[in-house]
A and B are shown apart, each in its own frame.
Chain A
Amino acid sequence: MARMQKGRDPADVLIIGAGASGSVAAAHLARAGVDVVCLEQGPRVDNAEFYGDKPEWELMAQKRWHPNPNVRDLENDYPINTDASAVNPLMYNAVGGSTILYAAHWQRFMPSDFRVKTLDGVADDWPFTYEDLEPYYSRMDEEFGVSGLAGDPAYPPHRDYPLPPMPIGRIGMKAAEGMNKLGWHWWPGPNSVPSRDYRGRNQCVRYGTCLTGCPHKAKASTDHTHWPMALENGARLVTGARVREITVDAQGLANGATYIDRNGREAHQRAGIVIVCCNGVGTPRLLLMSASKHHPDGLANSSGLVGRNLMMHPYAAVTGTFDEPLESWLGPAGQSIQSMQFYETDTSRGFVRGAKWGVMPSGGPLGLRAAYGGKALDEAWGANLHRNTRKVFGRSFEWGIIAEDLPDEDNRVTLDPELTDSDGLPAPKLIYKNSDNTKRMLDFHVARAEEAMEAAGAASISSTKLMRDCGWHLMGTARMGDDPTRSVVDQYGKSHDVPNLYIYDGSVFVTSSGFNPTGTITAIALRAVEHLIENRSHAKAACSHSKVMS
């Protein structure tokens, strides 16, 4: 049994999780003069720990910097039972959260994404529109330092990005030529990597290793974009603090959280308001772990929807190999160009909604080997290894397809009855499968992307219909809405059940869209936290000392 430590000074606001959403919330609350503590289970990461600028990069990408916590198996990770899941969830657990490893594709949702019920008769509409969120998108572009080109006809006109676009490279030019032949949409992809030095971060030098951490302190991970501002304004960040329970007082208000530090000691952090930012898997896990006599099914779970409607964006890839050298290891990675040609619903295709495509570089020679497991020896090795490397290495790129994954209550996060993390806390168990709509969508999109590769002049094309290690985007498990029986939080992330408990991470998504979500997660977090700050005089809080109340 862990020893209970003396608690720290109470805070106005406790944030749990220092990832994308938690960092934005901490920075803005601290700047508004609110006393904030953030508990984060992982450590701070030093950019020198990354291997992107070293020859060992690909070797270490397969283990130490793998995006699947079950493969990495670090102490700051928790294991996840994926036996009943078609897709592995991916994340990083440290200050900066999953932005430490994200590819920094910086996307907005399209207007239709917020109105899928009205337009397509599926799932639910969001409680706000694209237009409501638009000003927050622009501000997040600014704070993250997004490099991109305004004017994409896939969106209503919006403010220009703060930085000029990153180069699309030879791979982007090839892909774009193919799209123009077909008359299909493409646009240089916006990336949250700076094309010039920007607010303490360095200009991206195109290592192309963004997915295993940026060694150059260029990429917009939130340890660099938001924690400096939060700390300068007095936010307190506690690392190595794994929260096991959000505690609730006799009035039914959240009054803090109990956590375990890296010496195995238990402590309690008191606070007036609690904001959960643990991501689409960590948040439902924590709410379910916080079950008590008054909340037997988990905290904030009177709707029964905590953990349900998990969405993880099934991902397909169409890879083309070209006769000419394309330097396809060059970054950012990051995306070169994107296409929303087949994003909007066309029911004649046999499914609703669609997918975003993005061109990505293909890395070094070792990564190419990863797909060869289980093949005949002489197919993968021997003289064929040299032939394949000569043919493919530096000459191939992929159209990656992010399919919109509609919410389904049976796709869910629960607590595993046996598996635990290194502190003995129950691990999450995922139950997740793809719907027929998704399968038809992937078939259609893969066929079109093969046509796009052919039009670009690929000498050979190969496709993967569903990658297992593709759960980069974790959404939907504490959805927002106006109706407390059909949602967990309101449009500002406030729990319907516990009026001083908030959720700001990707769990609150109503639908998934077909876009990388972090631009939207952070815009929603900003909108929610500014609403909290503006309405601080009315906000319910558990501690009488709370300045939030004043």
Chain B
Amino acid sequence: MTTVSNEERAVFAELADVLIPAAEGMPAASDVDVQGAMLDHILGLRPDLAEAFRRGLSAAAGKPPADAAEALNRDDAEALGAIGIVASAGYYMTPAVREVIGYPGQENRPADPDETPEYVANGMLQQVIDRGPIFVPTPEA
């Protein structure tokens, strides 16, 4: 399991905010703490991301975050990709963010199988039926 240092978390938070800033009524990535426990959770589930993720962070350390993100996008797309996945996955898994975008998550919402479908009740499907068969039958042997 990857242990992420506080310095790395700080660099990640800055980069994540370049990718996911506070704008358009949405919080920034660091506002929902993508650099905290969520980061460990994600790397625990996706250890395959760790190497490129950390490579990106070490390349970005000490640089202005916007410039560092541009440089990674140009020179090491895999690293920026890993940072982007970790940031956006953490962001969109956060309940507060889901609430703002109106996403309840993949829902358990069974339908009533006995309900007459709207397209039957309102005659929409009948238009298709009225046009008749559209298949070419099996030719005679």
Show the binding face of A for B, using Cβ within 8 Å. 52-53, 55-60, 62-63, 110-112, 114-115, 118-119, 129-131, 147, 149, 151, 153-156, 163-168, 172-173, 176-177, 179-180, 183, 185-188, 195-196, 203-209, 216, 325, 329-331, 340-341, 343-345, 364-366, 369, 373-374, 376-377, 381-383, 385-387, 389-390, 393-394
Q: Are B128 and A186 in contact, with the CB atoms below 8 A?
A: yes
Q: Are A344 and B113 in contact, with the CB atoms below 8 A?
A: no
Q: Are B134 and A154 in contact, with the CB atoms below 8 A?
A: yes
CB contacts (< 8 Å) of A55 on chain B: these are 93, 105
Q: Are A365 and B106 in contact, with the CB atoms below 8 A?
A: no
Q: Are B92 and A365 in contact, with the CB atoms below 8 A?
A: yes
Q: Are B106 and A344 in contact, with the CB atoms below 8 A?
A: no
Residue of B nearest to A337 (CB): B119
Tell which of B23, B101, B108, B127 touches A180, judged by Cβ atoms closer than 8 Å: B127
Residue of A nearest to B127 (CB): A180
Q: Which of B102, B107, B127 has the most CB of A within 10 A?
A: B107
Tell which of B23, B45, B85, B93 touches A382, judged by Cβ atoms closer than 8 Å: B23
Given A207-B108, A389-B101, 11 extra CB contacts under 8 A: A59-B85, A119-B139, A129-B138, A156-B133, A176-B119, A204-B110, A364-B103, A364-B106, A369-B85, A369-B88, A390-B24
CB contacts (< 8 Å) of B119 on chain A: these are 168, 172-173, 176, 188
Q: Are B101 and A390 in contact, with the CB atoms below 8 A?
A: yes
Residue contacts A-B, CB under 8 angstroms, 28 given = A53-B106, A56-B93, A58-B92, A59-B46, A59-B89, A62-B85, A110-B136, A111-B137, A112-B138, A153-B128, A153-B129, A153-B135, A166-B111, A176-B125, A196-B113, A203-B113, A205-B108, A205-B109, A205-B110, A208-B106, A325-B102, A329-B107, A366-B92, A374-B77, A381-B69, A386-B20, A387-B24, A394-B101
B70 CB within 8 Å of chain A: yes
Contact of A59 with B131 at beta-carbon distance under 8 Å, contacts A365-B92, A381-B20 already known: no
Interface string of B5-29 (1 = CB under 8 A from A): 0000000000000111101111000
Tell which of A56, A155, A165, A180 touches B45, judged by Cβ atoms closer than 8 Å: A56
CB contacts (< 8 Å) of B36 on chain A: these are none
A340 to B21 CA separation, bound complex (whole angstroms): 45
A325 to B103 CA separation, bound complex (whole angstroms): 11
Contact of A330 with B109 at beta-carbon distance under 8 Å, contacts A59-B42, A382-B18, A383-B24 already known: yes
Q: Are A206 and B109 in contact, with the CB atoms below 8 A?
A: yes
Q: Are B109 and A153 in contact, with the CB atoms below 8 A?
A: no
Distance from B71 Cβ to chain A, minimum over Cβ atoms (Å): 10
Tell which of B20, B102, B113, B132 touches A385, judged by Cβ atoms closer than 8 Å: B20
Q: Are A364 and B24 in contact, with the CB atoms below 8 A?
A: no
Residue of B nearest to A120 (CB): B136
Distance from A161 Cβ to chain B, minimum over Cβ atoms (Å): 12
A-B pairs with lowest CB-CB distance, top 5: A386-B24, A383-B23, A195-B113, A381-B19, A112-B136
A373 to B72 CA separation, bound complex (whole angstroms): 13
CB contacts (< 8 Å) of B84 on chain A: these are 369, 381
Q: Are A156 and B137 in contact, with the CB atoms below 8 A?
A: yes
CB contacts (< 8 Å) of A163 on chain B: these are 113
The prevalent SS among residues of A at the interface is loop
A474 to B137 CA separation, bound complex (whole angstroms): 26
CB contacts (< 8 Å) of B136 on chain A: these are 110-112, 119, 344-345
Distance from A49 Cβ to chain B, minimum over Cβ atoms (Å): 13
Residue of A nearest to B87 (CB): A381
Tell which of B23, B25, B107, B134 touches A344, judged by Cβ atoms closer than 8 Å: B134
Q: Are A382 and B21 in contact, with the CB atoms below 8 A?
A: yes
Distance from B82 Cβ to chain A, minimum over Cβ atoms (Å): 11
A381 to B135 CA separation, bound complex (whole angstroms): 47
Tell which of B20, B92, B127 touches A364, judged by Cβ atoms closer than 8 Å: B92
Distance from A192 Cβ to chain B, minimum over Cβ atoms (Å): 15
Q: Are B135 and A156 in contact, with the CB atoms below 8 A?
A: yes
B73 CB within 8 Å of chain A: yes
A374 to B24 CA separation, bound complex (whole angstroms): 24
CB contacts (< 8 Å) of A383 on chain B: these are 21, 23-24
B114 CB within 8 Å of chain A: yes
A208 to B109 CA separation, bound complex (whole angstroms): 10
Q: Are B101 and A393 in contact, with the CB atoms below 8 A?
A: yes
A352 to B35 CA separation, bound complex (whole angstroms): 55
Q: Are A177 and B124 in contact, with the CB atoms below 8 A?
A: yes
